[in-house]
Amino acid sequence: AQSVAQPEDQVNVAEGNPLTVKCTYSVSGNPYLFWYVQYPNRGLQFLLKYITGDNLVKGSYGFEAEFNKSQTSFHLKKPSALVSDSALYFCAVRDRTTDKLIFGTGTRLQVFP
Amino acid sequence: DAGVTQSPTHLIKTRGQQVTLRCSPKSGHDTVSWYQQALGQGPQFIFQYYEEEERQRGNFPDRFSGHQFPNYSSELNVNALLLGDSALYLCASSLQGANNQPQHFGDGTRLSIL
């Protein structure tokens, strides 16, 4: 069965420091991987995706993610965190034969001034 | 270019009632997926509509049903509401066959069951 794990319920980081939000996945074959962000009382906003090619993917708002096939991970990163980055982050996988997204449980990112 | 729009934004119902939620997809998209996001959890896939037919379904009971109209908009219906149906219901749109492209989400309908 396909699944996504986000092992940290919350990540705290000081403004200006680098941040990492972890994600691991389990899926047969090669996956399509996505990161979404959710602000309070809002839907999900797309940040970035991995389809194929370069393992380091760059996305919106300065975020990037590193795909590691051997570790089945797709960690979200940002070199310098902003207070405005504080939100709920979801990792998701989509099977290449379907259009269904499978989400992790989410990680709340708190960036402190 | 309008994104995904959902209505209403909030809804309060009582147990046993029925509810209909609505979604208009992003311009150019022809596929609509519905997700349920319970408090503190990630979104769970309910079903997907394309060409006015249900194409895929997640692990949800038959109380959850849907419809897609010729203009690609969609409705989610839930019958015999239970307290556990309280959640944020998200609609996402996409273009059929473009699985390497992200789904676009609306802001959701928050359903509260009393």
- The C-alpha of A53 sits at a distance from chain B's nearest C-alpha, in angstroms, of 13
Q: Which residue reads 């986000």 in tokens?
A: A6
**What is the C-alpha separation between B102 and B114, in angstroms, rounded?**
35
Tell me if chain B has a CB within 8 Å of the CB of A36: yes
Closest CA to A100 of A13, A19, A20, A31: A31
Confidence of residue B100 (pLDDT cuts 50, 70, 90): confident
Four-point Cα dihedral B21, B22, B26, B31, nearest 10 = 80
In a 3-state reduction of DSSP, which class is residue A86?
Answer: coil
Q: Does A96 score more than 90 pLDDT?
A: no
The answer to whether residues A67 and A74 touch, using CB atoms and an 8 Å cutoff, is: yes
Q: From the candidates A41, A48, A100, which should be mutated to test the interface with B, based on the most B CB atoms within 10 A?
A: A100
Q: Does A98 score more than 80 pLDDT?
A: no
Q: Does A1 score more than 90 pLDDT?
A: no
Residue B20: what pLDDT?
A: 98
The answer to whether residues B13 and B19 touch, using CB atoms and an 8 Å cutoff, is: yes
**What are A99-110's pLDDT values in tens digits?**
789 999 999 999
- The C-alpha of A62 sits at a distance from chain B's nearest C-alpha, in angstroms, of 18
Read off the pLDDT of each residue in A32-57 and give the average, rounded to a whole number: 93
Q: Exposure of A99 by Cβ count < 10 A (0-12 exposed, 13-18 middle, 19+ buried)?
A: buried
Q: Does B39 score more than 70 pLDDT?
A: yes
Question: Which two tokens mark B68?
Answer: 């897609």
In a 3-state reduction of DSSP, which class is residue A83?
Answer: helix
The answer to whether residues B72 and B32 touch, using CB atoms and an 8 Å cutoff, is: yes
Q: Does A52 score more than 90 pLDDT?
A: no
Residue A8: what pLDDT?
A: 97
Q: B56 and A102 in contact by Cβ < 8 A?
A: no
Q: Does A70 score more than 80 pLDDT?
A: yes
Q: B45 and A41 in contact by Cβ < 8 A?
A: no
Q: Does B97 score more than 90 pLDDT?
A: no
A8 phi and psi, to 5 degrees? -110, 125
Confidence of residue B1 (pLDDT cuts 50, 70, 90): low
Residue A66: what pLDDT?
A: 95
- Chain B positions in Cβ-Cβ contact with residue A98 (cut-off 8 Å): 56, 99
CB atoms within 10 A of CB A30: 11
In a 3-state reduction of DSSP, which class is residue A85?
Answer: helix
Residue B13: what pLDDT?
A: 97
Q: Tell me how many residue pairs between chain A and chain B have CB atoms under 8 A apart.
A: 66
Q: Does B24 score more than 70 pLDDT?
A: yes
Q: A101 and B108 in contact by Cβ < 8 A?
A: no
CB atoms within 10 A of CB A41: 11
